[in-house]
Structure 1
């Protein structure tokens, strides 16, 4: 019994990104009896020994046809809904349309496979892929970032709270660190000597959005007040992001240098000041920011006042930690920062 050639096999109204690119994998995934064995098995001997579960030849095509028929019915609803959206253009209609687009594809085996095993390469302009990415993030990533922000007291030492709406990923490729940094990781000053690459993953439809990025250190020693103050280490505004392009890196900033209102100041914790928390905050902008009400200074940076004055809404965050190490002096020389201070445990 073979699979039907219905809505999931046509791309006149559907994006080609909803299908598997690898034809051999596609054939293996959609073949009930797997005549050549599972694609995941590499050895020919293992493929030959493979026996399909009893009844799979009959059940799989029937299940596929049933789900595909449901999808076709939903696409008919979508067609009618799109006509209404063209007339009314209401937010409620758009949200309903997005839900239907997810419903039409969420049981498609090819879509499910792409979402599970190729999530870094999926087409984020498709609502169903954003749906699966958001589910995966809510199951782990969102809880992890909130746990780190709260346990490290980044909340409330920087901003009072956060309701995460986007996933923020970070790495330092300029320093040959290609792995994604887990929130709260302790990084060498050599690793963080150049700006990070950030990826902001929006789960809502976003064709063009403007964002502000702030990297702050709330653990800068304030000797005069025998306390700590916040230092601004990086400031970006009017960064244009979308579902298709959520990357913030050096190449993008070269094309639009006006985005950077505070150049990257490499973290160089001074000796005996303990671990410093470098928090990355992502804000959605209501409108383009031409200038600021007050001059932006690095030292004693009031992040709460800054965000309130510029009507910025925090939607995501990340954090890493650094402590004084042998690379600090070299990094300070690289940026012309002079010798760092050495703090004693007791007042002299």
Structure 2
């Protein structure tokens, strides 16, 4: 018997008794298990009365019987002042397709339309009072430190022994302390955590940037650092590199985890990047996609090839999505903040028999937010300039700082030849095979008793000897 039926059984029993009909009380006309052919108890085997037998009874009895059937079929609803308990699988039934904690969403689903900050839990409300008092103290400190910064800015630098350098260091330290106080004032607020879990946080506020950075460092950054070491991005492409921003990549809606091998049909078009920075202010970015494993049969080695380059992309903490295929289009040309296309997207390819190709996506920040000359980049790297591209040389020549990274891999698959034919990329008929390396040691002569007696003098013993490697019979 299910749990709802066990809860509803006393209600059905009381309704039958209130009806006062001897037929309903004695013969149990209402079946308690509507979708089963077997009785739930032994005493239910005598239940033979149907709704047709109630036709002659009073209207009140029929109404009560119908209410009993309705109550028997419905599930019970918990009171609005209790939170649903159970395993994660049970709570998953109450979840809506949105971000957030399962426990919190289960609580919201079982408390009706009560606002989150007004949930009727005494411990929760007392904790909010303590947090409000702590926030008032932090706000008072912020006001005091802000006034101190204004006084310091108005003071002449000649008053200090260190001069202007000391004044700027002191101002930077005070501003950093004010940012920390802003984070501490709201870090424990349940409403702040709720908005962040639901993806509704304002990234202009330092507390949401702090929470996003902490979430990224907990797992995503560790995976990126592992891929950088695992696939030898350092030192093959850069001598030293540590990412400071979150970068995710999708192709036509398909997620591309760092280091995943992607199908050539999906990577035929430029990807979409989800980029998140954790410090305030606007900055200029350049995006570079290069293949680090292009075979060079003439020199028996590998070289690099540039597959995409965009520059002068304005970015801020409030932005999160950038479609590389839209940069340089007519719709994007109307907005100068969308960036300029220097080298269009070239689909990544790999010949049959070659090892996997590492396609690295680098985000480089401009020093002092100075824009780059797009015409010069097109002259240097478009066309023949794709082959032999050096990321380190590009970084040093234009004074850029790598801040973000992600990658994917490509190998020969069933659709690679069609992709190369559509885009006019040669090499689809080339197949690489492993070259056999001959030993540098001289041939070794046969040794042993039998090897010494293989001459004509011992012809009569040949039939008794075993086959010796290198000796023909």
Name the TM-score, length of structure 1 as normaliser. Answer: 0.78
Structure-2 change in CA distance of 1:334 and 1:122 (3 Å): farther
Paired with 2:123 and 2:111, the residues of 1 have a C-alpha distance of 22
Structure 2 residue 198 is matched with structure 1 residue 118: yes
Give the SS at the match of 1:281. strand
The structure showing larger relative contact order (alpha-carbon pairs under 8 Å, at least 6 residues apart) is 1
Structure 2 residue 198 is matched with structure 1 residue 198: no
Paired with 1:57 and 1:188, the residues of 2 have a C-alpha distance of 52
Show the counterpart of 1:22. Answer: none
Gaps of 5+ in 2: 1-78, 85-103, 113-119, 154-167, 437-473
Question: For 1:210-229, what per-residue CA distance to the aligned partner results, in whole angstroms no more than 9, with x for missing partners?
Answer: 01111111100112211000
Paired with 2:106 and 2:234, the residues of 1 have a C-alpha distance of 47
> Contact 1:209/1:284 (CA < 8 Å) preserved in 2?
yes
Q: Mean alpha-carbon deviation: is it higher for 82-91 or for 149-158?
A: 82-91
Name the TM-score, length of structure 2 as normaliser. Answer: 0.59
Paired with 2:348 and 2:175, the residues of 1 have a C-alpha distance of 44
Structure-2 change in CA distance of 1:345 and 1:190 (3 Å): same
Q: Mean alpha-carbon deviation: is it higher for 238-247 or for 318-327?
A: 238-247
Structure-2 change in CA distance of 1:84 and 1:288 (3 Å): farther
Paired with 2:111 and 2:320, the residues of 1 have a C-alpha distance of 40
1:113 Cα offset (Å): 2.3
Structure 2 residue 317 is matched with structure 1 residue 243: yes
> Contact 1:241/1:247 (CA < 8 Å) preserved in 2?
no
Matches within 5 A, 1:1-348: 35=81, 37=83, 40-41=105-106, 57-85=121-149, 88=153, 90-115=171-196, 117-119=197-199, 121-173=200-252, 176-177=253-254, 179=255, 181-206=256-281, 208-249=282-323, 250-254=325-329, 255-256=332-333, 259-286=340-367, 287-290=370-373, 292=376, 295-296=380-381, 297-338=385-426, 340-346=428-434
Paired with 1:42 and 1:99, the residues of 2 have a C-alpha distance of 32
Paired with 1:78 and 1:34, the residues of 2 have a C-alpha distance of 40
1:247 Cα offset (Å): 2.4
> Contact 2:350/2:411 (CA < 8 Å) preserved in 1?
yes
Q: Mean alpha-carbon deviation: is it higher for 243-252 or for 141-150?
A: 243-252
Give the SS at the match of 1:59. helix
Structure-2 change in CA distance of 1:84 and 1:253 (3 Å): farther
Which of the pair is proportionally richer in strand? 1
Aligned length, in residue pairs: 301
Give the SS at the match of 2:105. coil
Q: C-alpha root-mean-square deviation of aligned residues, in Å?
A: 2.7
> Contact 1:218/1:231 (CA < 8 Å) preserved in 2?
yes
> Contact 1:162/1:316 (CA < 8 Å) preserved in 2?
no
Which of the pair is proportionally richer in helix? 2
> Contact 2:295/2:303 (CA < 8 Å) preserved in 1?
yes
Structure-2 change in CA distance of 1:306 and 1:73 (3 Å): same
Question: Larger Rg: 1 or 2?
Answer: 2
Q: Mean alpha-carbon deviation: is it higher for 88-97 or for 133-142?
A: 88-97
> Contact 2:294/2:302 (CA < 8 Å) preserved in 1?
yes
> Contact 2:356/2:409 (CA < 8 Å) preserved in 1?
yes
Give the SS at the match of 2:268. coil
Paired with 1:252 and 1:338, the residues of 2 have a C-alpha distance of 26
